[in-house]
Every structure is written in C-alpha cells, then in structure tokens.
A = this chain, B = another copy of it.
Amino acid sequence: MKTNGACIAILAAGLLAGGAARAQGAAQWQALPTVAPAPADNPTTPAKVTLGKMLFFDPRLSSTGTVSCFSCHNVMEGGDDHRPVSIGVEAQRGGRNAPTVFNAAFLSVQFWDGRAATLEDQAKGPPVNSIEMGMKSLTQVIYRIRRIPGYRPYFERAFGSGDVVTMDNAAKAIAAYERTLITPGSAYDRYVQGDHSALTPQQVRGMDAFAAVGCASCHQGPNFSGPPLPMGQGFFMKFPVYPHSPYVAKYGLMKDPGRYDVTHNPADRNVWRVPGLRNLVYTAPYMHNGSVKTLPEAVRVMASAQLNRTLTAQQVGDIVAFLQSLTGPFPRQTMPRLPPTPGDLLGR
C-alpha cells in the first residue's frame, strides 16, 4: 500500500490483521451512528433544518433559477444525479461525478478533492461555481435570498432577530439539513449490531473478502470512508496506485489531477478523498469521473488499480452482495414549502 506524505492520514495500525477472520468477529466493523456530528458553532436545530431544507431545494439560488442543490444531489434517489458528470446552468457539464449528499455529514472534508473543511464551507461552493449554479458572488446569492421576503421569518426562527439573513447563516442552515441526510439501519448495520440474520451467507462471504483483499484498508470506519478524523482533516489516497492497470487507460482514471488542483503540491497528483460506500446501489455510475457504469466493474477496477489484484468472479459477486447490504433506509421527508418570488427576480 502506498501512502502519500503529509496529505494522507496514517492508516490504523493492524487494520488488516483480522481481515481473514470471520467478518462478524473483526473489531473494525462499525455501524453508522444514528445522529451525525455537528460543529460546536452550528448545533443542529429543527429551525435550521427547516430553513436549510428550503434553501437546498430552491433553484432561485442559481443564476437561471433552474439549478438547486437538489438538482445534483437528488435526495429522492441516491443523493446524487445518476449522471457521469453533472449539468449546471446553461447546460454546462462539470468535470466530476456528483458525490452523494447522503452521509456526507460523516466525511471530515468535502468535495472529491477535499477542498472544503466542513459542510458549511461546501455549501458556499456550487452557488458561485460558474459551471454549476452560476451566481457571480456569494453577495449576489444572499441578495437574491433577501429579495424573497418570505425567507426572513425562517432565518429569524433559526438564528434570532437582527441582521440574520446572511450567507454564513444560509450555509449553516443547509449544513444542518444535510446532517439529517444519513442512512443508518442498513442490513450491514443491523448485522454488526448483533442481528446475524441480517446478512445472507453470500454477503458475509463478501464482507470477509472485502477485508481480506484489502478494500477495508481505505474503506474503513462507519461510513467506509476512512477512520473518524477531526473535521477538516481529510482521509486521502492516491488513485490509481497502480497506473499500469488496464482499467486506468480504459476509464481515463489519471486525467484529473485531483487534489493537486487544490494544493499544487506534486505529491497530491491523482490523490483523492476516500469516498464512502453506502447506498452504492443508488449512485451509479462510479469513480470521480463517473466512467464506470456498474458495481461489479467498479469492484474489479478498484481491486486492479489500487491493490494490483484480479478477483475471481465469485469474489466480485460476493463483494457486490456485501456492498448492497450497505443500503440504508433513507430518511422520510416532507416537501418544504418555498416562499413566493417577486416577478422580476429571474430573467430570460
């Protein structure tokens, strides 16, 4: 396994030691918590969640009034957009696959390249990305929210009176809502909590194989995105580790320099935040560039490009079956009601 200097967290020692043992006996398997952690300066409250849900679904936060957070993070399906890359305002294509918003609350950094330390920071990115939501500035975003008078009471309920309709508060509210978008209670979670009937024999074999072949060296922890780390400290990994894997050229896996775009440190070329693996059934296609269409192929690609291994068909099938057990019940949600808009808010 290749680590990558300062930007890659040290893997938990001895992680793989128990990998070949029966899965249910391995201490590293952890269920997803039923409440997501929140930063000290933004505790999750019902009033913030209510406001954040409204803003999350509001397309008026984009230049054309057609793209909301929901557009690329479809919480009615997998929290992503089932496309290789997203489409923002004016039909512009982005360069990377939209990560699911589900369980993003358990990631210690946000975006594929970890360029945001918190969900609060992340929420300020897409609105002013020229390809995504196309607003000229965060000032323009909050100006537009202020032009919708019906929002003010929701900001006041969440943040008190006074000058509370601010971009910082809008981002806090969106982050608070996103911390409710978690999916504990999957078959896997029930299994590691002691319900041994929750997984099929094939899924248990897949769980063993997942650890034995080395997937769990990165995809560990309750969200399979690495060990729990302080917010802002990312868990990164080189991808691909084996650039001569035939899949690397086939799927163009080295074209995007990844975290290098953020740090301009040569050691960060093709380095990525380790993504979680929950609800993969809902988030095809896969990889940072959305190039891999099916889950079995994704397993083969990762085994080859990261571990220099060719899995047997049975191993692939078993691991896929295990990954399917990570699909949780999604939070039941009511639809928000958005306040009306002045008629001159949006142009042609």
Complex interface: chain B residues within 8 A of A332 (CB): 334-335
* A76 and B335 within 8 A (CB): yes
Given A90-B91, A286-B343, A341-B284, are A59 and B74 neighbors across the interface (CB < 8 Å)? yes
B286 A83 Cβ-Cβ under 8 A: no
Query: Is A57 part of the contact surface with B, judged by Cβ < 8 Å?
Result: yes
- Bound: A286/B345 CA distance, A: 13
Q: What are the residues of chain B within 8 A of A84 when measuring CB–CB?
A: 346-348
Instruction: Collect the chain B residues with CB atoms within 8 Å of residue A285's CB.
Output: 343-344
Contacts of A343 in B (CB 8 A): 284-286, 292-295
A52-108 residues at the B interface, CB under 8 angstroms: 57, 59-60, 64-66, 71, 74-78, 81-85, 87, 89-91, 93
Mark A119-145 against chain B: 1 for CB-CB distance below 8 A, else 0. 000000000000000000000000000
Count of residues in A whose CB is under 8 Å from the partner chain: 49
A146 CB-CB contact with B under 8 Å? no
A57-B76 contact, Cβ under 8 Å, with A91-B91, A332-B334: yes
- CB atoms of A346 and B292 under 8 A apart: no
* A82-B345, A93-B348, A348-B84 given; A340·B76 CB < 8 A: no
Minimum Cβ distance to chain B for residue A78 (Å): 6
Within the complex, what minimum Cβ distance (angstroms) separates A5 from chain B? 33
Whole-angstrom distance between the alpha carbons of A181 and B212 in the complex?
A: 53
CA distance A71 to B87 in the complex (A): 14
Q: Which of A317-348 contact B (CB under 8 A)?
A: 330, 332-348
Using CB atoms, name the residue of chain B closest to A293. B343
Answer whether residue A281 sits at the interface, using C-beta atoms and an 8 A cutoff. yes
Nearest-neighbour CB distance to chain B for A298, whole angstroms, equals 9
A282 interface contact, C-beta 8 A: yes
Scoring A90, A339, A340, A343 by chain B CB atoms within 10 A of each residue's CB, the highest score goes to: A343
CB pair B281 A340 closer than 8 Å = yes
In the complex, which residues of chain B have a beta carbon less than 8 angstroms from the beta carbon of A339? 77
Q: How far is the CA of A340 from the CA of B284 in the complex (A)?
A: 8
* Contacting residues, chain B, for A346 (C-beta < 8 A): 82-84
A342: chain B residues within 8 A (beta carbon): 284, 293-294
B65 and A81 within 8 A (CB): yes
In the complex, the answer to whether A335 meets B338 with C-beta atoms within 8 Å is no
In residues 250-289 of chain A, which contact B (Cβ within 8 Å)?
A: 281-282, 284-286
Q: How far, in angstroms, from A295 to B330 measured CA to CA in the complex? A: 41
Top 7 nearest A-B pairs (CB, nearest first) are: A284-B343, A293-B343, A91-B91, A285-B343, A77-B338, A293-B344, A82-B341
Q: Which residues of A contact B (CB under 8 A)?
A: 57, 59-60, 64-66, 71, 74-78, 81-85, 87, 89-91, 93, 281-282, 284-286, 292-295, 330, 332-348
Some 24 contacts from A to B, beta carbons below 8 A apart, are A59-B74, A59-B81, A64-B87, A65-B81, A74-B338, A77-B337, A77-B340, A77-B341, A78-B340, A84-B347, A84-B348, A89-B91, A90-B91, A91-B91, A284-B343, A286-B343, A292-B343, A293-B343, A293-B344, A294-B342, A294-B344, A295-B343, A332-B334, A333-B334
